A and B are shown apart, each in its own frame.
Chain A
């Protein structure tokens, strides 16, 4: 299946923890990757594989996966963490890529 679902929006108080989820059948077969996008900017990879962070991504970003659901957790959210977060997966049978609809994260 080539569909992913995400909550449209979440909010978190400064310094608190927030978890955003991504759900889809494809996630039983592959790991999702996560991208942060701020207004007017290109998306930036923040998490991939089983909880892997690219160089330069703070360790307050972490991930987990269970069944058809993958989660991105920001522990101690900062103002600069505001933005849209997209998950991405792969249809292994058709070799297609697709994104979730995105979650808007607001830091209060």
Chain B
């Protein structure tokens, strides 16, 4: 069973860049058919899809965050990363990495999740 684990600072200052890494274990990030995804959850709120990156580096972002988001993948380390620029208090959230899987043109689901990491944005 593939496992995902987020890592990164738990505190980021306003206007700076939030950087997180997700390490994938018990499975290769280069295996086809998956999209490596970031999802966040603000305190007391629902889930928000941030975007995904494929192992080849193709990325797609939530339009509401697109101007501030960047994702990258490091296949040699079996990791993928999130950068969120110019953060504000509104970016305080639990950030999850997840594996997005498509088994047909009508069936998509996040079958594996990291435990999540809480990131505070505060001075």
A: which residues have CB within 8 A of B?
29-31, 33, 35, 41-45, 48-50, 52, 54, 86, 88-90, 95-102
Q: Are A97 and B108 in contact (CB under 8 A)?
A: yes
Q: Are A49 and B107 in contact (CB under 8 A)?
A: yes
- The answer for the CA separation of A45 and B107 in the assembled complex, in Å, is 13
Q: Are A45 and B111 in contact (CB under 8 A)?
A: yes
Complex interface: chain A residues within 8 A of B37 (CB): 97
Interface size class of chain B, counting residues whose CB lies under 8 Å from the partner chain? 20 to 34
Q: List 27 A-B contacts (CB under 8 A).
A: A31-B107, A33-B108, A35-B110, A41-B115, A42-B115, A42-B116, A43-B47, A43-B96, A43-B113, A45-B109, A45-B110, A48-B107, A48-B108, A48-B111, A54-B111, A86-B46, A88-B108, A88-B109, A96-B60, A96-B62, A96-B63, A97-B37, A99-B47, A99-B49, A101-B46, A102-B46, A102-B47
B: which residues have CB within 8 A of A?
37, 46-49, 52, 60, 62-63, 96, 100, 103-111, 113-116
Residue of A43, A44, A95 ringed by the most chain B CB atoms within 10 A = A43
Complex interface: chain A residues within 8 A of B47 (CB): 35, 43, 86, 88, 99, 102
- The answer for the CA separation of A89 and B108 in the assembled complex, in Å, is 7
Complex interface: chain A residues within 8 A of B113 (CB): 42-44
Partner of B100, one of A31, A43, A86, A97: A97
Q: Are B114 and A42 in contact (CB under 8 A)?
A: yes
Q: Are B108 and A99 in contact (CB under 8 A)?
A: no
